Amino acid sequence: MIRNIKKLDYNVLILLFLFMIISTLLIKSATTYDEQYHNLYIKNMINYGIGFFVLIVTAIWDYRLIVNISYYIYGVALLLLIAVYKLGSEIHGASGWFELPFGFNFQPAELMKIVLILAMVKLLEQKNYDHLRIIRDVVPMALMTFVPFALVLIQPDLGNAIIYLVILFAMLWMGNLKYKHMLLLIMLIAASLTAFVYSYVHYHEPIEQFLLDKKLGHWSERIDTYLMPDQASDDATYHVKKTITAIGSGQLTGEGFMQGSSKNRGRIPFAYSDSIFAVIGEEFGFIGCSILIALYLILLSKLLFLNSSGNYTSGFIAVGVSAVMLFQIFENIGMLMGLMPLTGITLPFISYGGTSNIINMFSIGLILSAHIHRD
């Protein structure tokens, strides 16, 4: 055990420690105007403490033991997704959390991200990098994805549901899907998106009414904000307009720590979680945003490089975890700048979120474990 601890990549640990400092300071700043969240930065440090413990325990444990039981873990995660729909607490309009003691919550949809990756890795490692077959491989992977996708979508949690599709696409690519099949998949996705945009724009009123009848009116508001901003209501565009204003007001160097004018007036919705990048832009400007993005790139490149000489299994895990984090970073920053649709996706390691942070630490622990036990 001591020998495995010595093999930990301390560069990764230092990067995560930097993220902890940045996250805690930003959450402290983001909640200064609201007494309701005055101790959130303390909870964030507790979550990070738990996360580092989970990471180290996972890293010294042989990751192959976890991969071997991944199908069973997948079944448990599915049961949790079903249970949370009936027994979970509703937060911000979605019934996706179990309430835990001491004011903490657990979100099964976050757990399903890494569980889905591990279940697909278990399936793919048996292929020994042979070309994937549509019936034997692609269809099971698609079913493995769409079941949790549907369960999370009805919570409703569109952000995490989309991430499951990202995982599927990344695993198909890494799993050596034939180029012609990959091309067909890309064409199918492009055609589906084109048909959706055309249908939504030309049949906007009946679609909007349908979503309202299903109590999913906030979905139409978010889609309108991205596809039809000129016709969207002021309430629907409020979030994005305020985050764009906050990010833009930071200019090169920002307004200073805890000095963000929009944030201090409470104009940035969910400044401590989904919109925390707006706080970075407002208080630290372009330079602060660039430094954060650079840290992300260093971390992701390090995670991929660690297992560049490993086996297929470790490579699959590294690519799956990195693809999820990269998408979350791109989507979160893009949506706050009006470049991507607004979803409930958080910024990894920076936004407040106990479950997401601990699951991210567990995911990196798996990659470190694969590096330690690569022999």
**How confident is the model at residue 2, as a pLDDT?**
66
Tokens of 197: 């945009």
**How confident is the model at residue 93, as a pLDDT?**
59
Alpha helices in the chain (DSSP H): 2-6, 10-30, 40-60, 63-68, 70-87, 108-125, 139-153, 158-174, 179-202, 204-213, 217-227, 234-249, 261-264, 276-306, 312-336, 354-372
Full DSSP string of 39-94:
THHHHHHHHHHHHHHHHHHHHHS-HHHHHHTHHHHHHHHHHHHHHHHHHPEEETTE
| 252 CB neighbour count, 10 Å cutoff | 9
pLDDT along the chain (375 residues), means of 10: 73 95 95 82 93 94 92 94 80 69 79 94 79 85 93 84 92 84 87 89 84 74 79 80 92 92 89 93 96 96 78 86 95 92 89 90 94 77
**How confident is the model at residue 293, as a pLDDT?**
96
**How confident is the model at residue 92, as a pLDDT?**
61
Full DSSP string of 285-307:
HHHHHHHHHHHHHHHHHHHHHHT
